[in-house]
Amino acid sequence: MDDDVLGPIDYLAVEFPDGRVTGEGFQLIMDLVRRGIIRVLDLEFLARSADGVVRKVGLGEVDHTEDLDVATWQAAGSNVLDQSDLDVIAASMSPGSLAGVLVYENVWAAPLISAIDRNHARILGEGRIAAEDLMAALDASRQVP
């Protein structure tokens, strides 16, 4: 594989309404990393106070369950997200909540992209279909006689 080829980069922003994070999701992410499916590029946390003020917080400051190994995730910061990215996420947060924002590379796709390049083909587009949109389309297709 060409080391200069990256897989698609995605992000996932998750709100924790009670401001508490468990280790379950982090364990699942780590499993994907160990299997070479994704690479974590950045992990940021935002907290919105009851009066609506949003601030960036470190994982060590986050209220979490004992099954979350904070040390494993401390180095997951590349500053890929800029303030405008964080502002968009912050605008959707509820007062008193915490949001985690994970930026990751889809490593599994890099060999495919290399093969496309080697064969002088080109990718004409890429994107994401929201799960809700897919479910709505499937539901609509089932209702057509």
Percent of the chain with pLDDT over 70: 88
- Other Cβ atoms less than 10 A from the Cβ of 141: the count is 8
Q: Among the residues of the chain, which ranges form H helices? A: 24-34, 70-73, 83-92, 110-118, 131-143
CA 132 to chain centre: 18
Over residues 56-65, the pLDDT tens digits come to 888 778 777 6
Q: Calculate the alpha carbon distances from 7 to 76, 113, 117, 119 in Å.
A: 18, 7, 13, 17
pLDDT of amino acid 71: 63
Which 8-state DSSP code applies to residue 59? G
Over residues 43-56, the pLDDT tens digits come to 888 999 999 899 88
Query: Side chain identity at 77, as an amino acid letter?
Result: G
